Structure formats: C-alpha cells, structure tokens
Amino acid sequence: MRCQKWAVEISKLLEGELSAEREAELRRHLESCRHCQSLEARFRAVSDLLNSPPELPVPDFFAQRITASVSERMRHHSGSRFARATGVLRYRFRVAVMAVTLMVGLLIGGLAGRDIATLAQVGPARPSYDLLVLGEFSAQSGPVDYGLIWHDHGEGGSP
Amino acid sequence: MAGSMAPLTDEELIGMLAEGDENALRILVERYSASIYRFSVRYTGDESLAEDVAQEVFFRLFLHAKKFTSGRSFRTWLFTIVRNVGIDLARPYSHRKSFSVRLGKDSVGEDFAPESIANGSPTQEERMTAQERQRMVIEMLQDLPEKQRAAIVLKYYEDMSTKEIAEVLGKSVSSVEALLARGKRNLAKSLKL
C-alpha cells in the first residue's frame, strides 16, 4: 500500500503519457522497489492482453440496418410533430370557420330583418310588368269567368 | 465535380441531421456505426444489444442534434451518448453473470493459465485463438466497475486521450488516470497475475 501513489504513474508510463521528469523519477523508484516492479509487470501484461485481440468483426449490413430503422423513426417522429402542429392548425381553422359562419349568419340575418321591416312598412315592391289574373265573381258561387292579361304599369305607375 | 468536393464535417452533418436530413444520417452511420458496435460489445458484453444501442444512439443524435455546440468535440459528445445508452439498455440485464458474447465456437481451454502472459511463456497463450482471447477480454471487462470499464475501453479501443475520456465520463483528468490504474489492477486480479 505504501506504493499506491506510483500505480497511476506506472499506468501512465505504459500509455506513454508520463513526462520525462516523472518517468526518470519513477524509474529510480522501480530500481529499488520490488512491489512496483511487480505492479509494472502486471500492468504491462494487462496492456498487452488488451492490445492483442484483433478488431471485432461487425455484422454484415449493420450500417444499412441502422440507417433504415433510424430513418423510419425519424420520419415517424417528424410525422407526429407535423400531426401535432396541423392538429393545432385544424382546431384553429375550425374555430375560424365557426366565427366566419356566425358573422355571415348575423349579417344575412340583419339584412333580412331590415328587408322584412321595410316590407312591413311599404309593402312588397311591384314589378314593372305584372301578370294579373282578373276574375269575375258572383256573389253566390265564386268565380264564373276569368282571364289573363298583360298589364303594363309603366314607370312606377299603378294600373 | 462531386469528387473534388470536400467531405462534410461531423459538425456540418449534425446540423443537417437536426433538420431531418436522412443523407446526413447515412453518412454519420457509415462513419461511426462500426466504432459504436465495437464499443457496445466490449462495454455491455452482449453482442445482441449492440444493434439496439447503435439505433438508439443515432436516434438520440437526431433528437438532440440542435443541442450540439460547435466548440465541442463531436466524438466525445457521441461517446457520451453511446455510454448513456449502453447504461440504459444494459441495466435490465445487469444481474446476469454470464454474458452472451458469441465471438467464437470454442470456449477458452481449461488449461489456459493467464499467468503465462506475465511469465512471458508463449505456449499457453499461443494456444488461444484470437477469438478466444477476444472473448476472454470482453468477459473480464464485465467484471470491472462501470466507470473503470468505460475508461479502459475508450483508452484501449477508441484511442482516446485521458482528456477526451474525462469529457465523456464527466470527470477530471486525474480521476480518469486513477480509474485507468484501478481498472488495470482489477484486470490483473481477474487474470490472477
């Protein structure tokens, strides 16, 4: 345990990450310390073992499978985002349509109401040409004769 | 004309990926999927998890692409995500004592004595095939505490500097140096050296 502080230095030495000054100091210590000599040998064996295996083989079509599955998830995610966005828009559109319908309804209703009021006051507008049905009525039995005539009222005149 | 164009940098690709560019995804997968696969197998000890890890990593890259800041190293950011995904996906199986590393048909011979490596005796070691050594190393790595395992794998197989590992693990450089030393000491114990 007395050489605990050297463990990191030995590890760094094997990784080539020790400064020249620290390396010289460590090597002086290693000359006289059997414990650290043993530690260095064990660390070196571990490093050799870690470095020895060849590259792990990657399964065939690995990249293609990853690209295909992630692309699909991306599309699905973007689609969901679009659906959420358009869902809000659809709601707003419905509200706008209802508002416009209401306004148009009120406008038409208002105009119609004004026409009805006008009609009540002045009566229906008369056409310039009118089809009149003339009939003769007897007091007892109703119409006994009738006929159709075109009657030209003229310009705003009355028959 | 296309041949004279400089290849897109990782930073440019991640910017394109943020906009949902599938071509950027394809290039990033081609660049990094093998590296992620190898890290995952060594880190989780489970070959069957590696594809799930890689898929999740690239999907998280897409989700968080806008958070990537250009001053940062893309590689350390990527491996921070890889490690996090590895932790998340390996957690449900963390109770397992045997690992499904299917790298070779033959098991390590019972007569294998790891101390032969330290002794410099080549006979036992040479009897091991490369695949057997591969599997033995991966199984030994699974016995290490998570941070030591991550530090060792990033150091020895991803060629990361101590500073880069410190970024990935969110630790100081001196903490990573200590993790590496403790990791080697534990591996030496596993090897009965």
Q: What is the pLDDT of residues A82-114, one digit of tens each?
A: 666 666 666 777 788 888 888 888 888 887 777
User: Residue B77: inside a domain, yes or no?
Assistant: yes
Question: Are B90 and B133 contained in the same domain?
Answer: no
Do B90 and B15 share a structural domain?
A: yes
Q: What pLDDT is attached to residue A141?
A: 57
Number of domains in chain B: 2
If you average pLDDT over each of A126-135, B105-114, B129-138, which comes out highest? B129-138
pLDDT band at B110 (very low <50, low <70, confident <90, very high): very low
A8 — contact with chain B (CB < 8 Å)? Answer: yes
Q: Is the domain of B188 the same as that of B146?
A: yes
For position A158, what pLDDT does the model report? Answer: 46
Q: pLDDT at residue B141 above 90?
A: yes
What length does chain B have? 193
Does residue B64 sit in the same domain as residue B119?
A: no
Which among B47, B73, B97 is the end of a domain? Answer: B97
Please tell me whether residues B129 and B186 are part of one structural domain: yes
Residue whose C-alpha is closest to residue B59's, from B93, B29, B92: B29
Burial of A29 (0-12, 13-18, 19+ CB in 10 A): middle
Does some domain include residue B102? no
Residues of the domain holding B12: 8-97
Looking at the structure, tell me whether residues B53 and B130 fall in a common domain: no
At residue B191, the pLDDT reads 86
Report pLDDT for B130. Answer: 79
Q: Is A53 on the interface with B (CB under 8 A)?
A: yes
Contact A71 B25 (CB under 8 A): yes
Does B30 reach chain A within 8 Å, measured CB to CB? yes
Percentage of residues of chain B with pLDDT beyond 90: 67
The CATH number of the domain where B193 resides is what? 1.10.10.10
Q: Give the percent of chain A with pLDDT over 90.
A: 38
Mean pLDDT of A32-46: 94
Burial of A43 (0-12, 13-18, 19+ CB in 10 A): buried
Among all residues of chain A, which has the CA nearest to that of B135? A53
Assess whether B72 and B134 both reside in one domain: no
CB-based contact B86:B41 (threshold 8 Å): no
pLDDT at B109: 38
Domain assignments of chain A as residue spans, ordered by start: 4-51, 60-125, 127-159
pLDDT digits (tens, 9 = 90+) for B37-89: 999 999 999 999 999 999 999 999 999 999 998 788 999 999 999 999 999 99
Q: What's this model's pTM, rounded to 2 decimal places?
A: 0.69
Instruction: State the smallest CA–CA distance between residue A82 and chain B in angstroms.
Output: 13
Say what the pLDDT of residue A157 is.
45
CB of B185 within 8 Å of a chain A CB? The answer is yes
Domain membership flag for residue B53? yes
Whether B66 and B41 map to the same domain: the answer is yes
- Do B117 and B93 fall into the same domain? no
Q: List the Cα angle A36/A42/A43 in 5-degree steps.
A: 85
**Which CATH number do you get for residue B41?**
1.10.1740.10
Please check whether residue B2 lies inside any domain of the structure.
no
**For the ranges A93-102, A150-159, B156-165, which has the lowest average pLDDT?**
A150-159
**Closest residue of chain A to B17, computed from CA coordinates:** A74
Examine the domain organization and report whether B89 and B131 are in the same domain.
no
- Both B118 and B93 in one domain: the answer is no
